[in-house]
């Protein structure tokens, strides 16, 4: 299996304040990346968002903006399959950030690990990231982007084991899911 798991934490609406990435190559974690982002809405932080992830504006004052770190992020996101737990949210944040800074959308497809989990483990009471990780004894610091991205990647690998499939493409075929274009 080869893909990149992605997760964002947000300061407000679709303004990211942290990104996490986890690269899987041939079924193994090869690289991880986590970085705070000075959001476009800085210094404003939605109090509810801040309560969820614990990141405050004082943590972000000296961080780079999404635009400033785009050169570093772009290779992670181009020509790969992105996987996110509740992909509609994370892809929305990614698209909004690219639009805000007038950056070209990279050529990437994506799939949602919530949808994949529902096809793999039918009938569970919850498909939240922390609930699924508890089920598989995957320990992580929930609501921090790097940890969430890595946990998401590990869940996709578990789904591959469950479905006995060697690639993401065959896993999606067996589950009846299709890739979506970014």
What gap in Å lies between CA 100 and CA 40, rounded to an integer? Answer: 8
Indicate the pLDDT class of residue 63, thresholds 50, 70 and 90: very high
Residues with Cβ within 8 Å of residue 150, at least 6 apart in sequence: 5, 20, 22, 29, 32, 140
The pLDDT tens digits for 67-96 are 999 999 999 999 999 999 999 999 999 999
Under 8 Å between Cβ of 179 and 110: yes
Q: In angstroms, what CA-CA distances link 99 with 22, 57, 86, 94, 107?
A: 24, 23, 20, 9, 15
Whole-number average pLDDT of the chain: 96
Whether pLDDT at 166 is above 90: no
Homologous superfamily (CATH) of 3-181 is Ribonuclease H-like superfamily/Ribonuclease H (3.30.420.10)
């Amino acid at each position: 299996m080869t893909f990149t798991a992605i997760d964002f934490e947000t300061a407000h609406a679709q303004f990211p304040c942290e990104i996490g990435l986890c690269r899987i190559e041939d079924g193994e974690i090869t690289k991880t990346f986590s970085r705070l982002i000075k959001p476009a809405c800085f210094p404003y932080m939605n109090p509810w968002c801040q309560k969820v992830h614990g990141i405050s504006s004082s943590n972000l004052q000296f961080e780079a903006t999404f635009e400033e770190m785009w050169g570093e992020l772009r290779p992670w996101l181009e020509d790969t399959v992105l996987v996110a737990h509740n992909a509609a949210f994370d892809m929305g944040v990614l698209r909004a950030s690219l639009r805000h800074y007038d950056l070209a959308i990279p050529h990437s497809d994506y799939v949602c690990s919530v949808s994949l989990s529902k096809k793999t483990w039918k009938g569970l009471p919850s498909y939240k990231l922390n609930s699924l990780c508890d089920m598989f004894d995957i320990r992580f610091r929930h609501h921090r982007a790097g940890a969430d991205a890595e946990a998401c990647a590990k869940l996709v690998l578990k789904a591959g084991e469950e479905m006995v499939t060697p690639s993401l493409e065959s896993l999606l075929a067996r589950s009846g899911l299709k890739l979506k274009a970014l």
